[in-house]
Amino acid sequence: MLRLTCPHCGPRDQVEFNYGGDATVAVPDLAADEQTWFDAVYIRENPRGPHTEFWQHVAGCRQWIRIKRNTQTHEILAYGAATGPMSDDPTGNGGTDK
Amino acid sequence: MPDTAPKIIRRSALDGHRHVGDFGTIKGGVPGIVIQERRALSIVHLDAWADQVVACGKAIEKACGTAPAADPVKASEKNDTTVLWVGPNRWLIVEPESRDLFATLSADVTDDLATLTDQGHSRVCWRITGPNMRDLLAKGSTIDFDQSQFIPGDCVGTLLSHFTTVLHCRGDDTVDIYAARSFAVDLDHWLTSSSLEYGLWVLEPA
**For residue B95, how many other CB atoms are within 10 A of its CB?**
19
Most distant CA atoms of chain B, gap in Å: 64
A63 CB near a chain B CB, below 8 Å? yes
In a domain, A57, yes or no: yes
pLDDT-derived band of residue A91, with 50, 70 and 90 as boundaries? low
- Angle made by CA atoms A53, A54, A57, in degrees to the nearest 5: 130
**CATH number, residue A61:** 3.30.2270.10
Q: Answer whether residue A13 is part of any domain.
A: yes
CA of A44 vs chain B CAs: smallest distance (Å)? 31
Ordered by where they begin, the domains of chain B are: 21-39+122-202 (3.30.1360.120), 41-118 (3.30.70.1520)
Tell me if A98 is assigned to some domain.
no
Within 8 A of B73 by CB-CB distance, chain A residues are 8-10
**How high is the pLDDT of residue A90?**
58
The string of pLDDT tens digits covering residues B12-31 is 999 988 789 999 988 898 99
In a domain, A92, yes or no: no
DSSP state of B179: E
Q: How many domains does chain A have?
A: 1
Q: Residue A96: pLDDT band by 50, 70, 90 thresholds?
A: very low
By C-alpha distance, which of B32, B6, B39, B19 is closest to B188? B19
Give the nearest partner residue to B86 out of A13, A15, A61, using CB atoms. Answer: A61
pLDDT given for residue A97 in this prediction? 37
pLDDT < 70 stretches in chain B: 1-2
Across the interface, whether the CB atoms of B142 and A16 are under 8 A apart is answered yes
**B184: Cα separation from own chain's centroid:** 12
Give the pLDDT confidence of A7-58 residue by residue, as tens digits.
999 999 999 999 999 999 999 999 999 999 999 999 999 999 999 999 999 9
Those of residues 2-21 in A touching chain B at CB distance below 8 A are 8-10, 12-13, 15-16
How many contacts (CB atoms, under 8 Å) link A and B? 37
Distance between first and last Cα of chain A: 26
In a domain, A97, yes or no: no
**A9 lies in a domain?**
yes
Per DSSP, helices labelled H in chain B are 53-64, 101-108, 133-140, 184-195
Domain span at residue A76? 3-81
From the list A47, A50, A88, A95, the residue with the least C-alpha distance to A69 is: A50
A67, part of any domain: yes
Most B CBs within 10 Å: which of A62, A63, A83, as the mutation test of the B interface?
A62
- Using an 8 Å CB-CB cutoff, list chain A residues near B158: 12, 16, 59-60
Q: Which of B86, B87, B159 lies nearest to residue A15, judging by beta carbons?
A: B159
Report the pLDDT value the prediction gives residue B1, as an integer from 0 to 100: 61
Query: Which ranges of B124-180 does DSSP label H, i.e. alpha helix?
Result: 133-140
Give per-residue pLDDT as tens, A57-81: 999 999 999 999 999 999 999 999 9
pTM: 0.91
Contacts of B125 (CB under 8 A, 6+ apart): B37, B38, B41, B94, B176, B177, B178
Backbone angles phi, psi at B59, to 5 degrees: -65, -40
| B206 burial level (CB within 10 Å; 0-12, 13-18, 19+) | exposed
